[in-house]
Structure 1
Amino acid sequence: MTLPVRFDDLGLPGRRHEDWRWSDLSAIEAALAARANDGAPDARRWLIDGVTGPVLLFVDGRYSAEGSDPQGVTIETSGGDEAHILSRLTRGAVGATLRLGREQAAGPIQLVHVATGGQAHLHHRLTLAEDAQASIVETYVGAPASWTNVAVDIELAHSARLMRTVRRLGEGGVHTETLRAGVGQGASFMGTTLLTQAENVRIESHARLHGIGAFASLDGIMLGRNRQTFDVVNRIEHAAEGGSSRQTWRSVADDRATLSFAGKIQVARAAQKTDAEQSVKALLMERTATVNSKPELEIFADDVKCAHGATVGELSKDALFYLASRGVPPAESRAILTESFLSDALATIGEDAVREALTADAIGWLRRGA
């Protein structure tokens, strides 16, 4: 397909569209005018120590065989999802294709994409057969005047289990992601995202629990300062009986950053005995920052247990005073309390090394601003 050369050519919905009213992707314009750096970066420094398994390296939307160790994971070209405007742009893009059966055991798979400038599109497909299990860690590193656009399609059969962890790091740029997940009977999908270094971010996730007893969690952390804008839109759709879901998001907004979260739980009439929870909490480090939260419940079944809550506040003055009375410096006190505030959103990561890496990323961000 012919990729757009101007921001207006993308045809993205404006702020009058309810799901896009908090999105600011204006930095894409600089990426469309920029070119990628011809030098191939060494992505090994972005790998998580202690994690074994396949390694796939992408640079500016192109697969790097030299820096990869696929171990059976294939690279294919995508057709894209014509129904979604951002996914549509991934038509003809490369991406990792994972198809696992119950007899296959996959160690944590690391995908690293480094954007050096310009636009880059990826499309990953993850299909797990009955009783299959897999863990995937995706690290996206952006440079100024770069745009990484990712589409992810997931399908989990009976009793399959998938853990997906995403890190957005780097020095700037734009990150957009569209995820579609189908979760079958007794299957489990756990997704955790950490957003730090990017000028603009929009992530849109839709998990459909179409099997009896299916489970999904869409958790994450947003850490923004300066004039960063992050927008996360989650939808978990319960379409079958006995399903359960969780959404746990924690945000820290500093300077003039704008962090937004819109999460919806949909329960169909046939989805009796659904158990769904949503917890959205944010800290304002400066009152010049902005946090937007929009939790929603849409329930058509009678026998359900659904709850949601959203809070925005500041660090406890009593807790800060207590730590100060014990001789802890103010900057250290703020970092300690903020680290504790973020821990809930990382609790579902199964591998210790991955959870520790994301915790270190978050702590590093906090300490840099202390």
Structure 2
Amino acid sequence: MSNENYLANPLIHTDRKLGASNSQWVQSFDCTHMRPLIICRGPIRKEAMDVFDEMGIHNYGILLSEKDSITYQNALAPELRKLTDPSRIHRVPDYSGADKSERAQRIQQIINIAHTNGYNAIFAGYGFMSEDAEMVEAMENAGLNFMGPCSYTQRSAGMKDSAKRTALATGVSVTPGVNNATSQALFAKYGKSDKDLEKCAKSNKLEVDFSACNDDEEKALVLLAASYAAGIDIIDATDIGLALQIEAKRMLTEKPNNRFRLKAIAGGGGKGQRILQSANSYEGATLEDKVEKAAACVPSLVVECLIELKTNGVGDNKNVLIEMNIDTTRHQEIQVIGNGDWCMTMGGRDCSLQMHEQKLLEVSVTEEELNEA
């Protein structure tokens, strides 16, 4: 079947060279000076290449992993058929690294590729790699323009636990659940008093200052942040799994007909998530028996979430959320853009048709539908 209708569709493809506009204001958004390095893969990479070309940005480059170029050597990606200049294709072992150490190496490798080849911007796509505050901060410090939210925004809203804390602090409702499993694990392992936390810091040679903390939770976050910065584990995945198992038992008892969702705080694109089945889906003489069976798999599910996002290494933030899984809701996404002084929405889309947490279809929604929702 011909793809001519797709290629000629003005709703998809158009001349995006803003420098040619009659409006001086529109001309100010001209991007032809940019030389982006595309570090994502798959269809998003191809879409980015098409849009960059339409914007008059032709000197972009892409990363190519060993998996793409060797493992799937007979399945040449469409973008490789289009980009025939080998000097703009940069080979890396993989896109993100297997653990914290490898991620740091990959980030530095990407920075070196950008500097060596004259790229001045980084495009990481959507979700997963684009939601890595450490990577974004490294790009910023290297003088590269990251095409997406800055590292400050990433830390405030990119990590799922920070995003929920930010939402709650501003009076925005969130999905019911627990977002402080790491704090709970810390308290269970070391105690909750100032003396206990100071002892933990001292024994692990961590410099912490609790003077600005308003409560135990903030003290735990300060101590945990110090451990991440030092690259050590004061709690591990086992501790977090046990803490979440306790919370899961409580939640399963309160709502035995509900399923719950475990989510690692980093990444996107549906990665690092697992479903915890309802208590009543298990057999048992009593509700307590059913809850025990349902909650028994929580520690292993936590490890699965972390491994899938490659955040199970020493010094990684291993926080995992547990939330009520709302089966009947619709997945609406709203695009928001701003600069700190103003913000505006750029429309919405319904992404409810999914399989294995991946979007299969996105449908633009009207303003009337958004108002009704």
Same fold (TM over 0.5): no
When you count strand as a share of all residues, which structure comes out higher? Answer: 1
When you count helix as a share of all residues, which structure comes out higher? Answer: 2
**TM-score bucket (shorter structure):** under 0.3
In our comparison, the structure showing a higher alpha carbon Rg is: 2
TM-score (norm 2): 0.27
TM-score (norm 1): 0.27
Structure number with greater CO (CA < 8 Å, separation at least 6) is: 2
